[in-house]
Amino acid sequence: MKNRFFIKNAALAIMCSMLALTSCSSDDNKTDNDPDQGQNPTVIASVRVNTPSGRVFYLGAYDKFPSTLDYKTMTEIGPGATIYSYGEHPYVWNGTASTLTRYNVSNDMKISASDALSLAGTGISGTFGPPAFVSETEAYFFALNDGKIIKFNPTTMTIAETISVTPLPLSNDPAVKTSTYSSYVTSAKKIILPVGAVPTDYNKFPQYAQIAVFDLASKNVTYVNDNRMSMGYFTFAKGNDGTLYYRSSRETALSLDYSTVTGNPPTGGLLKVNPNGTFDANFFVDLKAAINAHSVNVVPYVNGDKALCQYLDNTFTPPAKPADWYNATTKYALVDLKTLKVEAFTSFEQYGTVYSVGTIDGIEYYGNIPTDNNNFKYRLLKQKGAAEFEAISEALGGSLIFVGKLR
């Protein structure tokens, strides 16, 4: 069986951002008097439906998740949408138009478009990730390859400032192609972005871990490296206690398989990132060594003291063509981060491809792309432990891409 776990980078880039920012709510600084905007607690879910004319995205709102999520009862958002939420509202990013649209959800769960923010004309280029919401009136888009950060007000949906910063090193080097995607607002008044890379010259994969740290007070960006592991992924693995972990990357593992590099730092490691934007000097786990694997390609999550790892076992031989590398059969294992004990993991086998769709009240939710023709159902899965998941809804007609909580 070929197991594939997509966590917003290969999937982020390919599947329009499935990894969502944690939805937060606040009663501070509320200025929204729109009659279409409700006040009752609400959960939202978005599905992607494949039609003859292409993909179409739909958004639904509920007081709680129903047993079935039917796109026919949802609001059509359009093609190519990336959806996230903060506080009172869902937000939809249209990359083609460079426009962020804020939506209202009424008390009777009707969804309607409100204001829009256009980034056209700001001079930023290329792709970048979801905005980092600091408050109801302060949020940021990061285009670090251009050395620019766009500060905007989510309440008025207006650009407040364009901040020039040091560009991300090697982001414009086509042989390396470093990039950032997800951003994480911390209790230390920092916004941290893990750095990843997709090298085209396999000998040039960065032999260090890296994060970009934006200080909200000084409005400066610093790039922090750690030489205990090679470059990882541009999203963190997030522990169920909120801890941020810099994790391994399949792109770096592939690069090593087709390079002549030797003596590099481990590619299958896990580092802990502190809220102040430093790597924890007392924490490093070589997951590849613990499993005795050929490579650790993804660390989907950390729950308690256990990290879930997707890996290629030590019998793996890289195929002649790098493009075929991604089709290799992988396995899962849980690794205890304290004892390094390894346990087999089979919880996803019945669901096919599983991926994160959002966090609500500190609990992770997942969607799936089924592979079993006898049990072909799209589901919303709620995590209940390191290896326990509950299917709480069935999505009819399409796969889930996002869930969140409003108010």
pLDDT band at 80 (very low <50, low <70, confident <90, very high): confident
Least confident of 140-149, 216-225, 275-284, 349-358: 349-358
Q: CB within 8 A of 339, min separation 6: which ones?
A: none
25 token code pair: 């709510």
pLDDT band at 296 (very low <50, low <70, confident <90, very high): very high
Amino acid letter, 8? K
For the stretch 311-320, pLDDT in tens is: 999 999 999 9
Average pLDDT over residues 227-251: 96
Q: Has residue 72 got a pLDDT over 60?
A: yes
Contact in structure between 165 and 149 (CB atoms under 8 Å): yes
Where in the sequence is the domain holding 63, given as residue range(s)? 5-406
Q: Has residue 115 got a pLDDT over 80?
A: yes
In percent, the amount of the chain with pLDDT more than 90 equals 81
Please state, rounded to an integer, the average pLDDT across all residues of the chain. 90
- What pLDDT sits at residue 126? 67
For the stretch 320-376, pLDDT in tens is: 999 999 999 999 999 999 999 999 999 998 898 899 999 999 999 999 998 876 578
For the stretch 131-174, pLDDT in tens is: 999 999 999 999 999 999 999 999 999 999 999 999 999 999 99
Give the integer Cα–Cα distance in Å for 137 and 153. 5
Residues 94, 381, 272, 9, CA torsion sign = negative
More confident residue, 380 or 13: 380
Give the integer Cα–Cα distance in Å for 363 and 356. 11
- What pLDDT sits at residue 35? 63
For the stretch 24-44, pLDDT in tens is: 333 344 444 566 776 777 999
State which H helix or E strand residue 276 sits in.
Answer: none
pLDDT band at 95 (very low <50, low <70, confident <90, very high): confident
Give the integer Cα–Cα distance in Å for 82 and 326. 25
- What pLDDT sits at residue 123? 79
pLDDT band at 175 (very low <50, low <70, confident <90, very high): very high
pTM given for the model: 0.90
Give the integer Cα–Cα distance in Å for 78 and 338. 46
Q: CB within 8 A of 105, min separation 6: which ones?
A: 37, 38, 42, 44, 61, 89, 90, 111, 406
CA 81 → CA 178, 350, 402, distances in Å? 24, 28, 11
Number of domains in the chain: 1
Q: Has residue 6 got a pLDDT over 70?
A: no
Contact in structure between 343 and 328 (CB atoms under 8 Å): no
- What pLDDT sits at residue 236? 97
- Give 3-state DSSP helix, strand, coil % of the chain, rounded to 5: 10, 45, 45
- What pLDDT sits at residue 38? 65
Cβ burial 195-225 (10 Å sphere, 16+ → b, else e): bbbbbeebebbbbbbbbbbbebeeeebebbe
- What pLDDT sits at residue 128? 78
Domain CATH for 192: 2.130.10
| Helix/strand/coil for 44 | strand
CA 118 → CA 99, 133, 158, 301, distances in Å? 4, 17, 9, 34
Highest mean pLDDT among 3-17, 31-45, 219-233: 219-233
226 token code pair: 């750690």
Q: Has residue 4 got a pLDDT over 60?
A: no
Please report where in the chains the tokens 């730092």 appear, as a residue.
265
State which H helix or E strand residue 2 sits in.
Answer: none
pLDDT band at 15 (very low <50, low <70, confident <90, very high): very low
Q: Work out the angle at residue 255's Cα, subtended by the Cα atoms of residues 254 and 260, and round it to the nearest 5 degrees.
A: 125
